[in-house]
Amino acid sequence: MHEIVKASKIGPDVFHFEVIAPKIARKRKAGQFVVLRINETGERIPLTIAGADPGQGTITLVFQVVGKTTAALSALKEGDSIQDIAGPLGKPTHIDNFGTTICVGGGIGIAPLYPIAQALKNAGNRVLTVLGARTKDLFIMEEQMRRVSHEVRICTDDGSYGTKGLVTNVLDEWIKELDNKVDFVMAIGPPIMMKFVAKTTLPYGIKTLVSLNSIMVDGTGMCGCCRVSVGGETKFVCVDGPEFDAHKVDFELLMQRLQAYKEQENQAMEIWRSNHEIPA
């Protein structure tokens, strides 16, 4: 059992938990994730490790309510416990002193981007960050990202905060301002965002990685649910990733597979809400 020592809501349907998991806290590296199960009858879901405190033996989980299990997880309070947490899983981000790096985060993708930006800065990189969301109210962890970045630029789809427009517009402008002297780009967010980040950096020849959020069950490469196509080869996000060369990912296939589960997910969410008398 893993006790929740801190629990807070940091955005619309977005929650921040600090959970006792000392072995994971000691071993985890930027880019890795866990698979958790709330109780003995619960399903297994993957969540990125957004931070860790080895001294306190805690890991930080930031998640958005998108289905039955995340809704049930959000209902837990400080002092409650999570049945099982397995990890750290996945390959850690390859951290090096690349030079000038740009980190691009969209929506809930800002949470898994944070430990990567932190590690890049600690390795001596110049870390520039672009953060985007549909509206101002949907931003999370802005102050944390500012602490691990040399400069941050903000944009929103509706112009309610920062520049009006997409992260790719800001990214392209920044690359041009720097006369293409950008050594590495890391992007995490909705698949459509990552797809267009890849299209933006490809003409400049900038090494670009993305962290994929495919459907996942066991987290060990056995079920095959998380398979994606990268460079024409089948890869498993849980063991080969979650990070891949953005210029080789088949984003269309990824989005098709995610959409196939969306209707079932929405139905399960409605049933859970009705059983718990929670309005949609």
Mean pLDDT by 10 residues, the chain (280 residues): 94 93 95 92 89 95 89 94 93 95 94 95 97 92 95 94 93 95 96 95 97 81 84 92 94 84 55 52
Q: How many domains does the chain have?
A: 2
Do both 71 and 127 map to the same domain? no
Do both 152 and 16 map to the same domain? no
Do both 66 and 113 map to the same domain? no
Question: Residue 272 CA to chain centroid, in angstroms?
Answer: 25
Nearest-CA neighbor of 243 among 202, 199, 187, 195? Answer: 187
Q: Is residue 235 part of a domain?
A: yes
Q: Which residues of 72-102 are buried (b: 16+ CB within 10 A; e: fewer)?
A: bbbebeeebebeebbbbbbebbebeebebbb
CA distances from 52 to 59, 65, 99, 114, 158 (A): 4, 22, 26, 12, 34
Do both 116 and 65 map to the same domain? no
Q: What is the CATH number of the domain that holds 35?
A: 2.40.30.10
Do both 143 and 217 map to the same domain? yes
- pLDDT given for residue 280 in this prediction: 47
Do both 118 and 230 map to the same domain? yes
- Among 52, 68, 89, the domain boundary falls at 89
- pLDDT given for residue 11 in this prediction: 87
Do both 43 and 107 map to the same domain? no
- pLDDT given for residue 9 in this prediction: 93
Q: Is residue 189 part of a domain?
A: yes
Sign, CA dihedral 10-15-19-23, equals negative
Do both 9 and 147 map to the same domain? no
pTM for this structure?
Answer: 0.87
Do both 107 and 68 map to the same domain? no
For residue 53, how many other CB atoms are within 10 A of its CB? 12
- pLDDT given for residue 257 in this prediction: 81
- pLDDT given for residue 263 in this prediction: 58
- pLDDT given for residue 66 in this prediction: 84
Q: Is residue 223 part of a domain?
A: yes
The DSSP H or E segment spanning 140 is none
d(CA 190, CA 61): 18
Q: Is residue 191 part of a domain?
A: yes
Range of the domain at 199: 100-257
